[in-house]
Amino acid sequence: MEEKLELYLDTKELIKALEFTTKVLKGRPTSEIYAFNKFIANGDKVDIEAVEMYEAAKTSIKAQINGTGEFIIDPKQLLIMVKNVDIDEIIITKEAEKNYIEIQSGWNITNMPIGNIESYPDFPNINDTEEIEFDTEELKELIERASFACSTDEARPVFTGIELDTEKAQIAASNTHMLAVSSFKANNKPENSKKIIIPAKTLDKLVKTTIKDKTVKINFNNTNLYITFDNTTLVSRLIDGSYPDVNRVIPKNSKVKCKIPKKAFEKMLNRIKVFSDNDNNIIKIEINNKEKTLILSASSQKGSSKEAIKLEDLITDNEKENFKIAFNANYITEITRRIKEDNMVMLLNTSVSPAIIAENEYSNNKYIVTPLRMVQ
């Protein structure tokens, strides 16, 4: 016979747990049952699970527990309620055979309906997986450097994800117009190295999560990814398919190498791109060999603007002729934001060939961007 269950929970810890699990449920659930979180009494802690069709999350918080049992409840409704109480402890009580829980916070008592737990899907098990471990902050930085380059076009799902190549210790992200490639140092190497494609939205959730642990473990098999930290597990379905060989896309040679002061270029770019057209956001770059300057310009029905900046260094194989190329201003803006050094380099070949932008010529973090056709 089912017994009475009482959970004594720290309010702040409960809020933190619900904020994390509701990230998985962000947006409209694909089925009504996915709108619930599962609470499981487990010794001296409560496990809270959220399961969706393509993602799942589980976290644990310490609790004083009387009795045993589990139930499912709307976490968003519960989160709103507990965020608006001025008391350190929440008491949740589930009476045997009742279809609701009682939530007590000080003098306030609230009843909330619970769902049919028999219909709730099981949390994915971590079985037969490879494991790789990262330093937490290094992993977050790695993701931030790459995820922006992913596509949002679900018609081409492969490019909505980040490729993790454990053999080459490299990640890559692309929307087919620009490519971000970064090498990394993990704390270990999986026994069976392979390439997997992780949904960028899953990794973006990880970046936005406050993590106390100094390391994060990533387990994966042929279908699922499991990210573990702080007594928490984030699960995602891997994207089926494969990236093209990204290393073949990276230009091996360049005819023009210019070293650009990053902050000055970024401000100039923000001024100039205001006048780019709304369709392709075209900005034009001209390298003036004689003056050793980079000239940035844009024109549209909104007006036109042109400005030059002095280069820190310039190497070219054709000093007689200025080099001209055009890009999507938004791509250059996003790339420039991720440059951490005072200077950045731009490696150019022809006006129709992909260009490399990086912190330096030998950087482990490179951005490759396809130029646009210039209209005179």
Residue 71 lies in a domain: yes
Per-residue pLDDT for 227 more than 90?
Answer: yes
| Number of domains within the chain | 3
Instruction: Read off the CATH number of the domain in which 287 is found.
Output: 3.10.150.10
Collapsing DSSP to helix, strand or coil, 24 comes out as helix
CB 103 within 8 A of CB 112: yes
Q: Sign of torsion, CA 257 261 265 266? A: positive
Both structure tokens of 150: 């992913």
Q: Which stretch of DSSP H or E encloses residue 197? A: strand 195-199
Alpha-carbon dihedral of residues 147, 148, 152, 156, nearest 10 degrees?
-60
d(CA 1, CA 20): 33
Mean pLDDT of 325-340: 96
Enclosing H/E stretch for 215: strand 215-220
**Is residue 320 predicted with pLDDT exceeding 90?**
no
pLDDT at 193: 81
| Percent of the chain at pLDDT exceeding 90 | 83
Q: Report whether pLDDT(375) > 70.
A: no
**Given pLDDT bands bounded at 50, 70 and 90, which one contains residue 128?**
confident
Per-residue pLDDT tens digits for 337-346: 999 999 999 9
How distant, in Å, are the alpha carbons of 22, 23, 30 from that of 52?
11, 11, 8
pTM for the full predicted model: 0.91
Q: What is the pLDDT of residue 127?
A: 82
pLDDT tens for residues 274-302? 999 878 899 999 999 999 999 999 999 99
| Domain termination residue (choose one: 247, 270, 296) | 247
How many Cβ atoms from other residues are within 10 Å of residue 345's Cβ?
22
How large is the average pLDDT for residues 318-333?
Answer: 93
Tokens 């519960």 correspond to what residue?
78
Question: Can you give the pLDDT at residue 3?
Answer: 78
- Domain-ending residue, one of 97, 119, 141: 119
The DSSP letter of residue 131 is E
Select from 232, 247, 262 the last residue of a domain. 247
Examine the domain organization and report whether 256 and 365 are in the same domain.
yes
Confirm whether 375 is domain-assigned: no
* pLDDT for res 342: 96
Residue type, 354: P
201: number of Cβ within 10 Å = 17
Residues whose CB is less than 8 angstroms from the CB of residue 43 and which lie 6 or more positions away in sequence, other chains included: 65
Instruction: Give the model's confidence band at 192: pLDDT under 50 very low, under 70 low, under 90 confident, else very high.
Output: confident
Q: How confident is the model at residue 85 (pLDDT cuts 50, 70, 90)?
A: very high
The answer to whether 246 and 179 have CB atoms below 8 angstroms apart is: yes
Q: What is the pLDDT of residues 20-78, one digit of tens each?
A: 998 877 766 678 899 999 999 999 999 999 999 889 999 999 999 999 999 999 999 99
Domain coverage including residue 350:
251-369
User: What is the β-pairing status of strands 293-300 and 224-229?
Assistant: unpaired
Between 32-36, 102-106, 126-130, 220-224, the lowest mean confidence (pLDDT) is in: 126-130
Write 115-118 long-range contacts (CB < 8 A, 24+). Answer: 115/33, 115/36, 115/71, 115/72, 115/73, 115/74, 116/33, 116/72, 117/38, 117/70, 117/71, 117/72
Question: What distance in Å separates the CA atoms of residue 299 and residue 305, rounded to the nearest whole number?
Answer: 6
Closest CA to 25 of 1, 49, 45, 60: 49
Indicate if 20 and 52 belong to the same structural domain: yes
